[in-house]
């Protein structure tokens, strides 16, 4: 009886995993919605960096370096954690050949406002 129950549970897990793969679910990480990638440097398509942009606070995250970037007055700051009190909300993934995400900030804001996801 226990063997049958184990096989049944394993089968249900396999079906659930298959269904998730087939349906193309939107992935969430720590409550953040993952949208399809934006090519910020669309004319090149040889981006070497993946970044995440949080438009609500104009914050970037570089998963390669595990750094957040944000504005402090007129300067860009960075750190392993974003400042307390910021609520990042949804994020937009994009790729660029820029060494720092804020180097293409104007293009990211323009594309995000245009509704291109």
Look-up of token digits 């063997």? 3
Q: How many residues does the chain have?
A: 117
Which residues are bridge partners to 49 per DSSP?
96
pTM over 0.75: no
Residues 53/89, Cβ–Cβ less than 8 Å: no
* Cβ within 8 Å of residue 47, ≥6 positions away: 39, 40, 41, 95, 96, 97
* CA 101/CA 64 separation, integer angstroms: 12
How many CB atoms sit inside 10 A of residue 41's CB?
17
Q: pLDDT: is 2 or 37 the higher one?
A: 2
Q: What b/e readout covers 54-83, taking b as 16+ CB neighbours within 10 angstroms?
A: beebbbbbbeeeebbbbeeeeebeeeeebe
pLDDT tens digits, one per residue of 45-95 = 555 889 999 998 999 999 999 999 999 988 999 999 999 999 998 899 988
pLDDT tens digits, one per residue of 17-38 = 444 433 333 333 344 444 444 5
């Amino acid at each position: 009886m226990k063997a049958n129950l184990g096989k049944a549970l394993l089968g249900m897990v396999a079906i659930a995993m298959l269904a998730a793969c087939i349906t193309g679910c939107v992935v969430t990480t720590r409550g953040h919605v993952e949208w399809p990638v934006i090519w910020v440097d669309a004319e090149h398509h040889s981006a070497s960096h993946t970044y995440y942009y949080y438009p609500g606070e104009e914050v970037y995250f570089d998963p390669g370096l595990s750094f957040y970037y944000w504005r402090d007055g007129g300067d860009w700051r960075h750190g392993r954690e974003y400042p307390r009190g910021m609520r990042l909300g949804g994020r937009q993934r994009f790729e660029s050949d820029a060494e720092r995400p804020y180097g293409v900030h104007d293009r990211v804001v323009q594309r995000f406002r245009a509704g291109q996801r």
